[in-house]
Amino acid sequence: MVGKTVVMTGATSGLGAVAAETLARRGAKVVVVARDAARGARTMARLTAANPNVTHRLHLGDLSRLTDMKRVGAEIAEAEPIVHVLANNAGAMFKARQITEDGLERTFATNHMAYLVLTLGLKASLEAAGGARVVNTASAAHRGQRFNPADMQSLKNYSGPFAYGRSKLYNILFTRELARRWAGTGITVNCFHPGVVATRFGDDSGGWLALLARAVKTFAITPEQGAQTLIYLAASRKVAGITGEYFDRCAVIEARPPARDDAAAAALFTASMKLAGLPD
């Protein structure tokens, strides 16, 4: 990873922090997108300690806000004309249905729309790398979910786990469609299931959902274990040229049938572009 630039969301804690520090130790310059300035500063200190030979960078923005993601994407593209790896890793789950200032359901905005907007904002920088990689953190939580174009944002019968699972289905569908659209650009696009990882995820969800998240994590794997597939997809020569796939434990596996529906992937992409105000 010496000489390579990695852009990562969700790098201030959990498996993202482990992956960011590991890639930095291997020589990468890491560019972090974070919402919290204090956590971001602590992350910069850890990255500098891991690799003091490069200048790591922090960009602050709220992943649930389209204006922030467009701004951050433009700022990074200007500062980093070449990006070798983009890791869309941040995710959230909310007990109650919340609406962002853009009129989007917050889980949908944070876990799906941020992936799309930031990735498209960095397309030119990724193309300039001549063999860049986009890595999207998905989840086995997509099981049991289906794409419903009439209710993409969980307007009916909302629950935190259901909306989260649906957003993870969207991550896989987005990966497939972007890989198809970017075929021939030299950019690969893959996603993965990290496992049930003992991180801060879900702790701020509130009420019974936060208690459930903490209970589940008593049986979870460590962030170091959960980060391995992200590190593998970002750095391993073994996956060079592989695109549009879903990984678990550093191996390609088959996602559930609704996540392999190419018509749904195309429809989701088009609808999301419209919501983002971007040309399809």
pLDDT one-digit tens code per residue, 115-158? 999 999 999 999 999 999 999 999 999 999 999 999 999 998 89
User: For residue range 21-63, what is the model confidence (pLDDT) as tens digits?
Assistant: 999 999 999 999 999 999 999 999 999 999 999 999 999 999 9
Structure tokens given for 20: 């960011």
Of 115, 164, 170, 232, the catalytic one is 164
pLDDT at 218 over 60: no
For residue 164, indicate whether it is catalytic.
yes
Q: In this predicted structure, what is the pLDDT of residue 199?
A: 55
Number of neighbouring beta carbons within 10 Å of residue 19: 32
Residue 64, CB half-sphere, CA atoms under 13 Å: how many?
16
Q: Which residue has the tokens 């018509």?
A: 263
| pLDDT the model gives residue 215 | 55
Helix H or strand E segment including 162: helix 160-181
Alpha-carbon span 171 to 153, nearest angstrom: 14
Closest among 196, 218, 225, 194 to 87, alpha carbons compared: 194
pLDDT at 17 over 80: yes
pLDDT for residue 212: 54
Would you say residue 210 has pLDDT above 70?
A: no
Q: What is the pLDDT of residue 269?
A: 98
Give pLDDT, residue 213: 54
| pLDDT tens, residue by residue, 159-201 | 999 999 999 999 999 999 999 999 999 999 999 999 776 655 5
Please tell me what DSSP assigns to residue 224: H
